[in-house]
Amino acid sequence: MIKRNGIVFILILFCSCSYFKADENPEVIARVKDNYLYKDEIKELIPSGTSKKDSVEIVRNFINRWAEQKLLIDAAEINLSDEKKASFDELIKQYKIDLYTKAYIEEVVKNTVDTIVNKSEILAYYNQNKENFKANSTLVRLRFINIKKDNPRLGTIKSKFFNFRKSDKKFWELYALQCNNFALNDTVWTDMEQVYSKLPFITPDNKNEYIIAGKSIEYTNGSDQYLVKITNVIDKNQISPFDYIQPTLKEVILNKRKLELIKKFEKEITDDAIKNNKYEIYKH
């Protein structure tokens, strides 16, 4: 048993499975004044397979932290002014109210809100509010391949790449595998950070030289050959394309539904309370 500053620690150095078997009479393992820590309170503390040495250390550290907290709250109760404690008590009371009501409303919303948002609804919202959805950075649609410049079919690959046809699907299924890296779907919008990552020869300093709608690019870097076709560009602060922000728009619509549902729910719960004579305002 270790005594320190009025704390009596009873640390049992027996951390096998039998140590944590439930007892009919709870066994005290530590005390701080009139506060007691029982063995049952730490029975889930030790992960399965933990060595005896580590188990003892875990238990010891837990008991020390528990004791420190009890001592600190006791000191705070004594030394803080009544005014400050009353202020904190009000904050705690309000926090409990906020926590309970928030959790309850979230549960109601989760079980009630319609989470299906069809594309036509998203598109209608976009058309009505597109001025609010301007691009934060340049957006690009492009396709590219990075291939070894000594590839024996480079000429054919280059011709197929810059004269891109859907009918060449089988060709690209074969030769795309020979590329170091590639992206052939130029219907998808991407931001410049991804462009810089995939095409390291393009940088913020030379961006305006390369990122031009309709531009064809051939760039050699050592043994690598880059072929790039810029199909479309939307500059920063222009209206973001629908396809790019469609997932964001869906979340905006869902959040709007949730807020409307919360407002409706709060009104209904108040109206029901008035109707059932559970809530009234007295006139003076």
What CA–CA distance (Å, rounded) separates 205 from 149? 26
Instruction: Kindly indicate the confidence band of residue 166, based on its pLDDT and cuts at 50, 70 and 90.
Output: confident
Mean pLDDT of the chain: 89
Task: State the average pLDDT over residues 35-57.
Answer: 89
Check whether 122 has a pLDDT greater than 50: yes
Instruction: Kindly indicate the confidence band of residue 272, based on its pLDDT and cuts at 50, 70 and 90.
Output: very high
Check whether 19 has a pLDDT greater than 70: no
Structure confidence at residue 37 (pLDDT): 93
Structure confidence at residue 187 (pLDDT): 93
Which has the minimum average pLDDT: 39-43, 142-146, 153-157, 202-206?
39-43
Task: State the average pLDDT over residues 165-173.
Answer: 89
Which has the minimum average pLDDT: 73-82, 161-170, 187-196?
161-170
Structure confidence at residue 26 (pLDDT): 77
Condensed to tens digits (0 to 9), the pLDDT of residues 123-162 reads 999 999 999 999 999 999 999 999 999 999 999 999 999 9
Percentage above 70 pLDDT, the chain: 91
What CA–CA distance (Å, rounded) separates 155 from 166? 19
What CA–CA distance (Å, rounded) separates 23 from 39? 9
Structure confidence at residue 24 (pLDDT): 58
Rounded to the nearest angstrom, the gap between the alpha carbon of residue 87 and the centroid of all alpha carbons in its chain is 34
Structure confidence at residue 143 (pLDDT): 96
Residue 122 has phi, psi (to 5 degrees) of -65, -45
Structure confidence at residue 3 (pLDDT): 45
3 state SS of 96 = helix
CA distances for 79 relative to 73, 74, 76, angstroms: 10, 9, 5
Strand pairing report for 139-148 and 181-183: antiparallel
Task: State the average pLDDT over residues 225-243.
Answer: 95
Check whether 72 has a pLDDT greater than 90: yes
Condensed to tens digits (0 to 9), the pLDDT of residues 174-187 reads 888 889 999 999 99
| Residue of higher predicted confidence among 284 and 45 | 45
Condensed to tens digits (0 to 9), the pLDDT of residues 5-16 reads 444 444 444 444
What CA–CA distance (Å, rounded) separates 101 from 266? 11
